[in-house]
Amino acid sequence: MASDSYASGSLSAAYVTCPNDTVAKDIARGLVERKLAACVNIIPQITSIYEWKGKLEEDNEVLLVCFIVWPTQSPF
């Protein structure tokens, strides 16, 4: 059973915005291929509203949800 191997604090999620689908797929593939993420979900068509250099901005972006599994045994 998968839950038998889970250790508290060994799983994290990171949210990353990308300017378009091409960039999102490149980053997602790179993270999974290098085993830096166990899985990456790509969520298309989000709208981000933020302040940049004193000006309110609004952009269409793609959201990555990156699931990261941390080693359960510390080398320290």
Q: What is the pLDDT of residues 40-66, one digit of tens each?
A: 999 999 999 999 999 999 999 999 999
pLDDT tens across 5-14, in order?
Answer: 656 667 899 9
50 within a domain of the structure (yes/no): yes
Compute the CA torsion angle 17, 21, 23, 25 (nearest 10 deg): 100
Q: Pick from 1, 20, 6: which is nearest to 67 by CA? A: 6
Question: pTM for the full model?
Answer: 0.77
Question: Do the domain assignments include residue 45?
Answer: yes
Q: Is residue 74 part of a domain?
A: no
CATH number of the CATH domain containing 17: 3.30.70.120
Say how many domains are in the chain: 1
- Domain contains 5: no
